[in-house]
Structure 1
Amino acid sequence: MEAKVLVVEDSAAQRFVITKILEENGFKVQSAENGQLALQSLNQYTPDIVISDIMMPEMDGPTLCKTLKQDRRWQNIPVILMTTLNEPSEIFKIIESQADYLFLKEFDPDSFIAFVEDVLHTKDNNVSTSNDGAVLVSVLKRIYPVQGSKEQIARLLISAYRSALQAYDRYYRLKHEIKEIQNNFKSQLKVKDEKNQYRYTQISLLVEEIRTPLNNLFQIFDLLEKAEISQEYDIYLHLATINSQHIAKSLDDLQTIAHFKNAAEQIPARFIEFNLRECIDDVLSPFSVQSSKKQIELISHLPPDIPEFVKGEPNYLRHVLFILIDNAFRFTEKGAVTVKVAREDEGEATLRLKFTVQDTGQGLNPKKEKELKQLFQQIDRLSAKVSEKLREANPGLFVAARWVHSLQGKMDFESAKSGTTFSFVIPMEAAEAPPEIIRLGKNASLKGTPILVLSEEWLNGIVLEELLNSWGAEVKVTNQAENVVATLLQAKRSRHPYKLFIADSGVRSSSAFKLLEAINKQKDLANLKKILLTSFGQRGDAIRSIKLGVSAFLLKPIKAKELYQTIQTVLQIEAPSDVLITRHTLKETSRPLRVLVAEDNRVNQKLMMAILNKEGYEVELATNGQEAVNFYKQKPFDLILMDMQMPVMDGFQATRAIRKLEANSNNHVLIFALTASDDPKEIQGAHNAGVDEVLRKPLNLPALKDILKKYLQDSHKIAIEL
């Protein structure tokens, strides 16, 4: 029978490492973040051994140990306290807690497992004392008798502990000396030039930008293992995907910087058309885990007068906002972190947008305020060099301000006891939205649909009200949960019932579930459709949602397109079901893009099929133009990727043949020519044959998606992840 271990450790990384080592050696492991949670776990799970950190929030290791030893149910469970030996007097606290064993944190895995097995061997064999009064100790599964008085053994152990402290002290001094040698070596190599320092700072910040979503993944994987139903699994899988995508984007920028020949370079600016709302949502998404853990609301507001599609530099904007939001979370313990966008171009021809990131922390001290003012002033003066002291003290804000400055903008801040607000204004251009976005915004089919929204945060309520109004819905927003049931019943009795109730639960979902329970008790509200929005789903939320008749469970921040699609799907449901709509199910129910690849080169075939299949597209392969024409006759496609140079029938002939077949119908399949040639005659020949676009080989997926936006009128129904 495998031994059961309870690991109590507040550090997610340490908890992960200890758990992994134990599980790889055949132990069954349960974990808790602090002593209080460990006690709750013990009511349902009785371990053979408890391994606990000493310093933890809520309840530390010694207090946990003392509690266990004073309770008859748990007093015989061996407790190992893990220490770094930072504090010499710690041993007396450990002895007082009645802990059974002590083990150093910086351990070798094999030594750690051997120690745990010895503890269990002692417990399993009921090893305590011999007949002659000697204390029996298990070392590497062998029993050794130890004779002597309690005073002698105590003095011996304390002196051994002091010797261990001295050895540990020598180890740390040696470690410090090695670090100093490394730092001296680095300082000799380090160029004092500000340009080199700037590149180094950019790299450091991108590494930090990876750290947040990476830490999130550790927590999400833990939740994935414990997911009880598929809908719960879908929610956590979506969170993992968001964080993985953010890591991938940052790694791309790291790779770009690593190849710079000139140290003065920064990430290249690319001024393109992009969806501003989705750009901001993508930045906010990795912070949803922190939002839930710290119980801090994460809010964004893009007013109706701001164009949703703009032309600008989305990559710089994403990085700057990430730095400012990350900074806000570090210094905020309660309240909210809010991202706002406003226009600063009244009466001007150009579009100038002001972005603000506001927290509810303690504010900056006067010294820090003065420091940041000097930093921003020096960056604004093109001729002035930024002080190395200011730069090193504020690396994130330094790079953020430099990026803003390169976009012809300016960084500023305001601070008070109620929090700090960082802001920057940059010029942009309004861009024309793709056809599917235009329809979604102006011709959406929610006209006249009565919707009641409960929002704990007034700004979130405004955001939802603006979105729903833009789709023609009849919206009422309230922040008074106690009046919701009465409001719903009154509307029902007046024969103008609400068709949909949206509960925006903020960082705490418990109050929303209580309200949903109250709604469920009303027979007159049995047909009411319900959507729950939350900052971060807790274990069991999906099951509770299904039991309470919730049709959709979405994690914030919510993208406009996803919210609209969710509402449309929910309103079409005729009767309650056990299916809970999540972002994952929305994607699964969308029709994949149907693509025909016409390509004769085997290497190109494998590459293109791999890229397109990975995106979830339905892909067919034709090895020449004649096969492509035959496929077209047999089944419909959304897109044909046509190589122009193929045997039997080339791409020019195949395109003309398909267009001829279309002449007698109202159909028009998209045909994108693929060519490695720069010859203008070949490109013009492809257009003359009837292709819609000419793409260069090899296939570039992001470029393909950008071009598809112009053509697919029903792209919100097709899973192409635009």
Structure 2
Amino acid sequence: MTAFKDLSIKWKLMLLMMLTSCAALLLACLAFMTYELVTMRQTMAQELETLAGIIADNSTASLSFKDTKAAEETLATLGAKPQIMAAAIYGPDDAILARYLRPGAFPGTIPATPEADGYRFAARRLALFGPVLMDDDRIGTVYLQSDLSLMVARIQRYIAIVLAVMAASTILALLLASRLQGVISEPILDLVGATRLVATEKNYAVRARRRSRDEVGLLIDGFNDMLSQIQERDRALEAAREALEQRVEERTRELLQQLAFIQLLRTVAALANETTTIEESLRACLVAVCGSIGWPVGHVYMRPPDAADRLIALPVWHLDVPHRFAAFRKITEGMVLKRGEGLPGRVMESGRPAWIRDVTQDPSFPQARLAQDIAVRTGFAFPVVVGGEVAAVLEFFTTTTMEPDEKLLQLMAQVGTQLGPAIQRRRAEESLRRSEEKYRSLVANIPDVTWTSDSSGAIVFISPNVEKVYGFTPEEIYSDAALWFGRIHPDDVEAVKGAYRGLFESNRKFQIEYRIQRKDGAWIWLYDRTLGTYGKAEETYADGMFTDITERKHAELELQKAKEGAEQASRSKSEFLANVSHEIRTPMNGIIGMTDLLLDTRLRPEQREYLDIVKSSADGLLTLINDILDFSKIEAGRLEIEPIDFSLRDCLDNTMRILAVRAHGKGLELACHVLPDVPDAVVGDPGRLRQVLINLVGNAIKFTERGEVVVRVESEAPTSEEAQLTFAVSDTGIGIPEEKHRAIFEAFTQADGSTTRKYGGTGLGLTISSQLVEMMGGRIRVDSRIGRGSTFRFSVRLGLQRGRTLTPEPPPPQELRDLPVLVVDDNATNRRILEEMFEGWRMKPVAVDGGEAALMALKNAARGGRPFRLVILDANMPGMDGFTLAERIQGERELQGLDLIMLTSGGQRGEAARSRQVGISAYLTKPTRRSELLDLIMTVLSPPAPGRRRDRLITRHTLREERRRLRVLLVEDNRVNRAVAVRLLERRGHSVTIARTGREALDLTRTRPFDVALMDLQMPEMGGLEATAAIRHREQVTGKHLSIIAMTAHAMKGDRERCLAAGMDGYVAKPIQADDLFQTIDSVLSRSPLEASAERPSAGPPPARRGELFDRQALMARLEGDSGLLSEIVELFMKSAPGLMRDAEKALHGRDAKALERAAHTLKGMVANFGARTAFEAALRMEKMAQKDDATGARAAWASLEKEMARLTKALVKLAEEHAA
């Protein structure tokens, strides 16, 4: 292939033509020979088939008679066919009947048995099997074998002919190619010749001759065009070369100038770095610039640091001939130029270099006349910029007039740029020097000692004043590392070393106080703190300072002693107050109790009046005692807020109900207005909130003769975790003078300043309330005027219960939707409260302020086809009271069938009977609970049960009676707890079934239906949580739901959440309070399982009075005064407690933590029923110790519990005997 590439175009064309022609001819011959070969094979096969047919026809007789001889004779005729090598005739049994072999043929070429009919080519021969038929029946087979000699001979003749034709064609192609290649090669050779000529002679005027218009002709045209362009380019290059030489000369001159300028910049930079002051740097710059450009005069103006628009001429000059320019220097020095004045002022104003062609002709040049006398003509100046401001201006002058040189000005601007950082650095160095001097002076005079330490703890710098504090000089500390850590107090050294390690290992700054021994042996206190770490030269350092606080420590010690003395005095005071309180309470309880008993007997009016005064005075004194104790706790800082989950509306309802008697006794309206968006499920201290409200509302009632007292509650955009609630207590009382607004929050302040003091003072209540509100995250304030009433406002922050809805109650019944109701009340606040309540229940309320308006509204509604279904009446209204209005309504024919509900503030004797007489359906005293009013309305609107008439007045009492009787499952293993719960439930008419273990409860719920289950948590066999989980798992199949309420004496944080998470619906804490229990049952049965839970979980039994083992009053209140039940549970306690104590003692000695925990838990629940706080706490401590497997702590708790149980047993026996007597 390489040899072909190297051939000339002539030979390449000839070879290509010859090869192409021969290849085409060869392919044609091969195709023809292939066709002939196929045709010949088919012809031979046809001839052999014909011959076989002839032999078969002639062999039928010999085969029929098996005449071998006749068959051989038939085959012998094949001798006339020289190409037949062998033949054979096979009989019906496939045996050879006769055969034929060409002389010289090998006998083995005939197959022993016939094969399939048809011909087949083998190596150098053609074989054929054919049938011998007679009457279309096969009687034998004919076999013929022929050689291929005829076909081979014919192929050889064809090959000879093809070779001859190929040779002739090649010779012809060679002759034609040698003649035709010249058409292509000759123009190319001409082009090559022209190319060689151009290459050797460099003569681009040569042109190649074009012979044709084909591609070669186009190539020659392109070549000639290229030569023309090269010729033109050479001419242009020649001209460019000449211009370049000229520019090189110019660039060389410019480069030399640039090098001179660079040298100037280097000189300026070097001189600026070598000099030590700003003035020296500027003077060196003047010398360098004047020497470089050859100008004789250079001068500096500087902007003072305290002036932003003035330049002062400095005594910094360069003068080639000093005496010649002495007068110019004299008049210039000390000159002050404003911004824009003179050449320097213009530069300062623009911040760019400036040029004056002839200063003598420039009117703004101050020294123009003098410059003319000394032949100063052209001048320029450039700025030195530091921090974006012009700090100095350098001006230069020459004695000749020169046109402005922009390049020179640009170069000088760069000189100013180079000089700026140097001046800035000099200023920084000067400032640093002054700062260092100031720092050293400050360090030498401040009491704090500053230090620097490396990572090993060695002091590498310490301020000189360390000698005053420590007694050692800095040099002594540097030379001996042990003078620092080695003299730290042994009790403090590890803490100090740990602080230093944390500083260098974690960059954790520290503040630490420790003792160290001075040189004179005295121990002093140091307050040491670090400022942070930094790296320098692959080493880490830390800066810090310490202060001698020995005097402060002595003062703190004295202060601690004084504080302990004050605390002891406070404790003594508190104990004294508690003792006095207890001593006062004992006779006061007797006074109040006996007074209550006397008031229940028949008395003359005069006697009842005296006893009312006695009871009022005793109640006031008891309230004062409680306030004094709270005030004492506040002063001592021991009053705490205990946040728990509670219902805000229930808390407010209970508080209003307590105060309602006092308000109604004075004929006052008492209302509580809680806006709908106020959350209900909150977290806080309901007791302290109730205390504040009772105080504020109580004061409002006390200072109000007529009108109303209203509590309003609003919410200020609650978040997901807490709400800010604002409470406002408004009254229509006497009001408070503005000058006493602050004083009323002080102890024992008289709001009524008159001599007679009709209303009395505020006592400690407002002072305590103010402190409580602040502890709950708010503040209290008052808005009041004389004769216009008062409004006390306070705000508190309350948490929101997790997993509880913010709405106070479930959606209202569908029956109330769009129900028209008329509200009749002369008090606007009451109307608004009822309107909002009814609108929340999707009712259609209309409110009017009196009887006449009510009658008109009722008649208009009836005539308009939209009559009212329900009327809510206020009993006490001016003009026409509620009872009169009810009579008028019943007397109107068109108003028959209305349900009337009477709300009264007084609850006076005889009102219920009068309500029945005038046809009122229901009667309720204010304040009313939302749930109570809803139950009342639903009872009024619902039809009576079949077979029963509703002819009696519906009241709060009848509502309670009509509640459904429940089937209650009580799951409790403690006999005392069971007895209390069973008696309380059966008193309310409920059916109780008892299970003693979780396993029994599981079996009972499988076979019997229950409305609610009260489930203890810790029981043998199966606990309450496990039983609840099993019940809930079973309910997934049945689709039912049993309401389960947890009962536990755990009183531990997280108990309520664990119960709800286990699938329980509510939670009550032991000891069981009747109100809490039934309120929880009502809540669980009326709400969805997710919403139901006890609102006020108890933290344990109520505290007993001082000196008492248990709270007798709380116990009797819990048992609802049932002496029989008291005797029963005391008897159960006497039977159960000894066995439980033995179980606990056995578990304690056997180190069985689980058994000890179970026994302690049971004992804790048992004593909690009696309100025995001390015994409860001892059992709780033992339970916690058992949970922690703390044997030592458990033994200590056991000793305390054993002692308290003995005391409790004696007290309970005595109590039971007293009640039995």
| TM-score tier after normalising by the smaller chain length | 0.5 to 0.7
Q: CA deviation at 1:316?
A: 1.2
Alignment counterpart, residue 1010 of structure 2, candidates 619, 636, 643: 636
Secondary structure (helix, strand or coil) at the match of 2:741 reads: helix
Alignment counterpart, residue 651 of structure 2, candidates 269, 279, 282: 279
Q: What does residue range 104-503 of structure 1 map to in structure 2 within 5 Å?
A: 264=636, 268-344=640-716, 351-365=723-737, 368-372=740-744, 394-416=763-785, 417-431=787-801, 440-441=810-811, 445-503=815-873
Aligned amino acid, residue 882 of structure 2: A
Secondary structure (helix, strand or coil) at the match of 2:993 reads: strand
1:620 paired with 2:990, answer no
Alignment counterpart, residue 931 of structure 2, candidates 561, 574, 585: 561
Query: What RMSD, in angstroms, separates the aligned Cα atoms of the two structures?
Result: 5.4
1:590 paired with 2:963, answer yes
Equivalent position of 1:522 in the other structure: 892
Aligned amino acid, residue 956 of structure 2: R
In 2, Cα distance between equivalents of 1:216 and 1:413: 37
Aligned amino acid, residue 499 of structure 1: R
Q: CA deviation at 1:372?
A: 2.8
Greater alpha carbon shift after TM alignment, 436-445 vs 591-600: 436-445
In 2, Cα distance between equivalents of 1:408 and 1:444: 41
Greater alpha carbon shift after TM alignment, 685-694 vs 431-440: 685-694
Q: CA deviation at 1:606?
A: 2.3
Q: CA deviation at 1:302?
A: 1.4
Greater radius of gyration (CA): 2
Greater alpha carbon shift after TM alignment, 691-700 vs 338-347: 691-700
Q: Is the contact between residue 203 and residue 257 of structure 1 (CA under 8 Å) also seen in structure 2?
A: no
Structure 2, unpaired ranges of 5+: 1-567, 603-618, 749-760, 1097-1221
Q: CA deviation at 1:503?
A: 0.7
Q: Is the contact between residue 642 and residue 673 of structure 1 (CA under 8 Å) also seen in structure 2?
A: yes
Q: CA deviation at 1:523?
A: 2.0
> What TM-score does the superposition give when structure 1 sets the normalisation length?
0.56
Instruction: Indicate how the Cα distance of structure 1 residues 301 and 654 shifts in structure 2: closer, same or farther if over 3 A, else same.
Output: closer
1:552 paired with 2:913, answer no
Q: CA deviation at 1:531?
A: 0.5
1:685-714 deviations in Å (ceiling 9; x for gaps): 999998778988776778877976885455
> What TM-score does the superposition give when structure 2 sets the normalisation length?
0.34
Q: Is the contact between residue 738 and residue 784 of structure 2 (CA under 8 Å) also seen in structure 1?
A: no
Instruction: Indicate how the Cα distance of structure 1 residues 366 and 663 shifts in structure 2: closer, same or farther if over 3 A, else same.
Output: closer
In 2, Cα distance between equivalents of 1:699 and 1:631: 24
In 2, Cα distance between equivalents of 1:583 and 1:493: 34
Q: CA deviation at 1:439?
A: 5.6
Aligned amino acid, residue 588 of structure 1: E
Aligned amino acid, residue 641 of structure 1: M
Secondary structure (helix, strand or coil) at the match of 1:353 reads: strand
In 1, Cα distance between equivalents of 2:712 and 2:766: 18
Structure whose residues are more often helix by fraction:
2
Q: CA deviation at 1:432?
A: 7.0
1:536 paired with 2:906, answer yes
Aligned amino acid, residue 696 of structure 2: L
In 2, Cα distance between equivalents of 1:284 and 1:695: 24
Instruction: Indicate how the Cα distance of structure 1 residues 474 and 199 shifts in structure 2: closer, same or farther if over 3 A, else same.
Output: farther
Q: Is the contact between residue 296 and residue 334 of structure 1 (CA under 8 Å) also seen in structure 2?
A: yes
Secondary structure (helix, strand or coil) at the match of 1:400 reads: helix
In 2, Cα distance between equivalents of 1:624 and 1:199: 44
In 2, Cα distance between equivalents of 1:216 and 1:459: 37
Q: Is the contact between residue 296 and residue 507 of structure 1 (CA under 8 Å) also seen in structure 2?
A: no
In 2, Cα distance between equivalents of 1:348 and 1:651: 32
Which structure's relative contact order is higher, taking Cα pairs within 8 Å and 6+ residues apart? 1
Instruction: Indicate how the Cα distance of structure 1 residues 372 and 667 shifts in structure 2: closer, same or farther if over 3 A, else same.
Output: same
Greater alpha carbon shift after TM alignment, 688-697 vs 542-551: 688-697
Q: Is the contact between residue 745 and residue 766 of structure 2 (CA under 8 Å) also seen in structure 1?
A: no
Q: Is the contact between residue 358 and residue 421 of structure 1 (CA under 8 Å) also seen in structure 2?
A: yes
Identity of aligned residues (%): 30
1:16-57 deviations in Å (ceiling 9; x for gaps): xxxxxxxxxxxxxxxxxxxxxxxxxxxxxxxxxxxxxxxxxx
In 1, Cα distance between equivalents of 2:584 and 2:848: 41
Q: Is the contact between residue 311 and residue 430 of structure 1 (CA under 8 Å) also seen in structure 2?
A: yes
Q: Is the contact between residue 667 and residue 906 of structure 2 (CA under 8 Å) also seen in structure 1?
A: no
Q: CA deviation at 1:254?
A: 6.5
Secondary structure (helix, strand or coil) at the match of 1:440 reads: coil
In 2, Cα distance between equivalents of 1:349 and 1:663: 33
Q: Is the contact between residue 644 and residue 673 of structure 1 (CA under 8 Å) also seen in structure 2?
A: no
In 2, Cα distance between equivalents of 1:424 and 1:684: 31
1:49-74 deviations in Å (ceiling 9; x for gaps): xxxxxxxxxxxxxxxxxxxxxxxxxx
Q: Is the contact between residue 968 and residue 1010 of structure 2 (CA under 8 Å) also seen in structure 1?
A: no
Instruction: Indicate how the Cα distance of structure 1 residues 430 and 506 shifts in structure 2: closer, same or farther if over 3 A, else same.
Output: farther
Q: How many residues align?
A: 488
Secondary structure (helix, strand or coil) at the match of 1:290 reads: helix
Instruction: Indicate how the Cα distance of structure 1 residues 256 and 515 shifts in structure 2: closer, same or farther if over 3 A, else same.
Output: same
Q: Is the contact between residue 599 and residue 624 of structure 1 (CA under 8 Å) also seen in structure 2?
A: yes
Instruction: Indicate how the Cα distance of structure 1 residues 289 and 694 shifts in structure 2: closer, same or farther if over 3 A, else same.
Output: closer
In 2, Cα distance between equivalents of 1:308 and 1:695: 19
Q: CA deviation at 1:402?
A: 1.2
Q: CA deviation at 1:502?
A: 0.6
Q: CA deviation at 1:476?
A: 0.6
In 2, Cα distance between equivalents of 1:206 and 1:430: 38
Instruction: Indicate how the Cα distance of structure 1 residues 346 and 365 shifts in structure 2: closer, same or farther if over 3 A, else same.
Output: same
Equivalent position of 1:512 in the other structure: 882
Secondary structure (helix, strand or coil) at the match of 1:333 reads: coil
In 2, Cα distance between equivalents of 1:463 and 1:368: 32
In 1, Cα distance between equivalents of 2:804 and 2:853: 41
Q: CA deviation at 1:496?
A: 1.2
1:553-585 deviations in Å (ceiling 9; x for gaps): 011111111111111111114698431111121
Structure 1, unpaired ranges of 5+: 1-188, 224-246, 377-391
Instruction: Indicate how the Cα distance of structure 1 residues 338 and 527 shifts in structure 2: closer, same or farther if over 3 A, else same.
Output: same
Secondary structure (helix, strand or coil) at the match of 2:688 reads: helix
In 1, Cα distance between equivalents of 2:721 and 2:1025: 46
In 1, Cα distance between equivalents of 2:1028 and 2:582: 48
In 2, Cα distance between equivalents of 1:507 and 1:200: 50
